[in-house]
Amino acid sequence: MDNRIDQRFKLLKSKKESAFIPFITAGDPSLEVTRGLILELERCGADIIELGIPFSDPIADGPVIQASYYRTLAKGLRVEDVFRLVKDVRKETDIPIVSMVSYSIVFKIGVEKFLVSAKESGFDGATIPDLPVEESQALIRSASEKDFRIVCFAAPTTTPDRMEQIAKGTQGFLYYMSVVGITGVRDSLPKDMKENICRLKRLTDKPIALGFGISTPEQAKIAGSVADGVIVGSALIKELERNIDKSPSEIIKAVGQLAGKLSAGAKGRV
Amino acid sequence: MGTGVAKSVTTQKLVNEKGRFGRFGGRYVPETLIPALEQLEREYLAAKKDRDFQKELNYYLKEYVGRPSPLYLAERLGKRLGDVKVYLKREDLNHTGAHKINNTLGQALLAKRMGKRRIIAETGAGQHGVATATACAMFGLECEVYMGEEDMRRQSLNVFRMKLLGTNVIPVKTGSMTLKDATNEALRDWMASVGNTHYILGSVVGPHPYPTMVRDFQSIIGKEARDQILEKENRLPDCLIACVGGGSNSIGLFHPFIEDEGVRMIGVEAGGIGLKVGEHAATLSYGKVGVLHGSMSYVLQDDDGQTQPVHSISAGLDYPGVGPEHSYLKDIGRAEYVSVTDAEALEAFQACARSEGIIPALEAAHALAYTMKVAPSLDRGSVILVCLSGSGDKDSFEVAAKLGIKINSPAHG
């Protein structure tokens, strides 16, 4: 059987649509809300869920996601809780779920054990932002055997020879960081974005998803017009943060509404 | 491990082209930083071979820093400890009062060579921040330093010094508000500013090439000390002792002695107030292998890989990681790592002041505390070489507070 991520991109390709990939933190503000959010995001037009596993020292992430991680870790969230959550939500949805996880966590748990547990719980892949492509070869091989996708990153600063290596190594899709720097909300998208994506498309047939700094439906529309997928994280977490004192159903509704608009943008319907 | 027995290692094997010390080191950072690290590595290797660069660096080390720093025989201390010879490598006498300037001058020169006019740095105790601010002032580079809010409180004097030197000190309010969080913030800044900015990392930690490059800049400590002890004693020391936080002064002292098999090398970590999680910062003594801040090394983490809280009386040792080369030296048995408590360090701080007229930094007081512990078990006449990595002037208020003495200081109300 095909991996869910591959299936989804195949389907979207036939519909000539870009994927909308929202990012949320597992356990923020509670596992119950995360569970509800995954289902709500799917209803609101998400194609793939990127689920962040909280880490104490997330160097690739900006203040919004870091604060979200801290809130969650302060409540004592463990990685096994995240696996349990995905296992539970899998009973109700077939949406592809990709974990965003630091190599510090993967290494500590053990590469093999992490891959097996993630796959068994219902994750379809992982992005490991602090594991550069040259360090990920063995991990990618092992993941391949398990039909588990390791999504690699490319950045505007990536040199052409590395770009080739990354395009070759990545699985499921390629995560292109549209700006130099950390995740977060920005006012504009960089000009060289389109050019860089075209360069990548010449190197690979794999879908390319754009992330980092996309926060409005208009930006999602621009991103969706050049890339095969649009990833939005900080803007959604910010919306969650704004509503954090409300009831679980209100939080889920608020984040879902924003996701709906972003999804429409990513699919060119605004 | 007995004295003088050590496995043979060659410097050749110590670091490979991927920045690995055995299994330690490497480069675990977001893709955005990889090209910058590759550029830095290329430029550094070129500079290392460039005679003009080395000449310029040596000029500043001599004329500006005041090198070579003295190797001073602490006679009264040695006699008290059972007739051993304790030599203190006086890095506290460097300009800015610590060994940190050896590295910041080197990296600032490198930044100039790379055409990067903006410098960022992280700092714990503030010594590295001051040393970076100093080098930037002297070379006319723009400088911003990330510092945890908790550390800014503990080291307000150094914050003021940095500001005087024209540096913008950015308070870090995330996490534990100490060195590790300042390091996270500096890395984040660099990811967004890598085009015009060089990040002067202050210790032998982080992604390759930092552990190697910083070690090379700090090796001046051990090179000088080796020449000096041979001149004074006509033999190598029996034992080297230095404190280890990230581990830059200790690796700087150890590195030139690594192939001298008879020389024992002891790194002293911060034992804090106890052995429980959050009570110490003794990474090599109690940590496990993991990944933090871009490299694989011993770290203090929980079973999920989350960084654990650390404590030390000394802000410079208050760090949950350690340089990968130390991890390697530990694993192959070439160096030993021990820890002393806050209380022992505080006692050594005062003992050194009284018996030698030298007020050591609290970091260096850890090395002295272990010296006082181990000396009585050594043969009479043993030669111990201790790295006095910094001056204790910066710690006066903190120590006074710990001793229950009120000093009238505007900084502390």
- Provide the β-strand partners of residue A230: A20, A210
Q: What is the pLDDT along chain B (413 residues), one digit of tens a residue?
A: 333 334 444 444 566 767 899 999 999 999 989 988 999 999 999 999 999 999 999 999 999 999 999 999 999 999 999 999 999 999 999 999 999 999 999 999 999 999 999 999 999 878 899 999 999 999 999 999 999 998 898 788 889 999 999 999 999 998 778 888 898 899 889 988 888 999 999 999 999 999 999 999 999 999 999 999 999 999 999 999 999 999 999 999 999 999 999 999 999 999 999 999 999 999 999 999 999 999 999 999 999 999 999 999 998 898 999 999 999 999 999 999 999 999 999 999 999 999 999 999 999 999 999 999 999 999 999 999 999 999 998 888 889 999 999 887 555 44
Strands A19-25 and A174-177: unpaired
CA pair distance A226, B119, nearest whole angstrom? 35
Whether pLDDT at A111 is above 50: yes
What angle do helix axes B100-114 and B127-139 make, rounded to 10 degrees?
A: 40
Within 8 A by CB and 6+ apart from B356, the residues are B74, B76, B77, B88
**CB contact (8 A) between residue B27 and residue A154:** no
Both tokens assigned to B264: 């024992």
Asked if omega into B68 is within 30° of 0 (cis), the reply is yes
> How many angstroms separate the CA of residue B358 from the nearest CA in chain A?
38
What does pTM read for this prediction? 0.94
Nearest CA distance, B27 vs chain A (angstrom):
8
List, for residues A92-103, the tens digit of each pLDDT value.
999 999 999 999
DSSP symbol at A205: S
| Contact between chains at B292 and A57 (C-beta distance less than 8 A) | yes
Is B100 catalytic? The answer is: yes
The C-alpha of B129 sits at a distance from chain A's nearest C-alpha, in angstroms, of 20
Out of B26, B181, B305, name the one closest to residue A105 (CB): B305
Find tokens 């940590």 and name the residue: B287
Q: Is the pLDDT of residue A90 over 80?
A: yes
Its sign, for the CA torsion A87, A89, A94, A98, is: negative
Residues 6+ apart with CB under 8 A from A218: A265, A270
Residues 6+ apart with CB under 8 A from B39: B114
Q: Which residue of B has its CA nearest to A77?
A: B304
B31/A166 Cβ within 8 A: yes
Chain A: closest CA distance from residue B20 (Å): 12
CB neighbours of B165 closer than 8 A, spacing ≥ 6?
Answer: B130, B133, B134, B136, B137, B143
What is the predicted pLDDT for the residue at B14?
A: 62
Residue numbers in B near A70 (CB within 8 A): 174-175
Q: How many domains does chain A have?
A: 1
Asked if B188 and A59 come within 8 Å (Cβ–Cβ), the reply is yes
Give yes or no: B233 in active site: no
Q: Are B290 and A132 in contact (CB < 8 Å)? A: no
Q: Which of B172, B188, B197, B327 should one mutate to test binding to chain A, selecting the residue with the greatest count of A CBs within 10 A?
A: B188
| Per-residue confidence (pLDDT) for residue A188, from 0 to 100 | 63
Distance in angstroms (rounded) separating the CA atoms of residues A123 and B44: 42
Marked catalytic residue, from B389, B391, B394, B398: B389
Report whether B318 contacts B178 (CB < 8 A): yes
Across the beta sheet with B197-200, what order do the strands follow?
B168-172, B142-148, B118-123, B197-200
Tell me if A180 and B305 make a contact (CB, 8 A cut-off): no
Q: Return the residue of A nearest to B174 by Cα.
A: A67
Q: Please, which residues bridge with residue B85 across strands?
A: B383
Whether B174 sits inside 8 A of A106 (CB atoms) is no
Cβ distance of A135 and B28 shorter than 8 Å: yes
Which residues are CB-neighbours of A250 under 8 A, at least 6 positions away? A243
Which helix H or strand E contains A211, and what residues bound it?
Answer: strand A208-211
Q: What percent of chain A has pLDDT over 90?
A: 82
Tell me the shortest Cα–Cα distance from A100 to chain B, in angstroms.
13
Closest CA of chain A from B296, distance in Å: 9
* Chain segment B335-356, per-residue pLDDT in tens: 999 999 999 999 999 999 999 9
Give residue-wise pLDDT tens across range B196-226: 999 999 999 999 999 999 999 999 999 999 9
Q: Are A242 and A254 in contact (CB under 8 A)?
A: yes
Residue B409 among the catalytic residues? no
Helices and strands in chain B: count of H runs, count of E runs: 17, 14
Interface of B with A (CB under 8 A): 18, 26-32, 34-36, 38, 174-175, 180-181, 184, 187-188, 191-195, 290-294, 296, 301, 303-307
Q: Of the residues B41, B43, B122, B344, which is catalytic? A: B122
Question: CA separation (Å) from B62 to B57, B107, B138?
Answer: 9, 16, 15
- Burial A89-123, CB ≥16 within 10 A → b, else e: beeeeebbbbbbbbbbbbbbbeeeebbebbbebbb
The confidence score (pLDDT) of residue B315 equals 84
pLDDT at A6 over 90: yes
* Residues of the domain holding A129: 4-266
Q: Which of A6, A40, A61, A124 is catalytic?
A: A61
**Cβ pair A162, A39 in contact under 8 A:** no
E runs forming strands in B65-115: 71-73, 85-90
Q: How far is CA A161 from CA A164, A198, A268, B385, in A?
A: 5, 16, 33, 48
Residue of B292, B298, B306, B310 to mutate, testing the A interface (most A Cβ within 10 Å of its Cβ): B306
Contact B27 A180 (CB under 8 A): no
pLDDT at B408: 74
Pairing of β B71-73 and β B85-90: antiparallel
A59 falls in which pLDDT band (50, 70, 90)? confident
Query: CB A157 to CB B194 under 8 A?
Result: yes
In a mutational test of the B interface, the residue from A108, A127, A177, A192 whose CB has the highest number of chain B CBs within 10 Å is A108
User: Which two tokens mark B186?
Assistant: 């500096």
CATH assignment at residue A21:
3.20.20.70
Query: Are residues A180 and B292, on separate chains, in Cβ contact within 8 Å?
Result: no
Whether B32 and A157 lie within 8 Å, measured CB to CB? yes
Give the span between the Cα atoms of B315 and B123, in whole angstroms: 9
C-alpha–C-alpha distance, residues B127 and B91, integer Å? 12
How many Å lie between the alpha carbon of A43 and the closest alpha carbon of chain B? Answer: 32
Q: Report the SS3 class of residue A148.
A: coil
Which residues does chain A have within 8 Å of residue B193's beta carbon, measured at their own beta carbons? 181
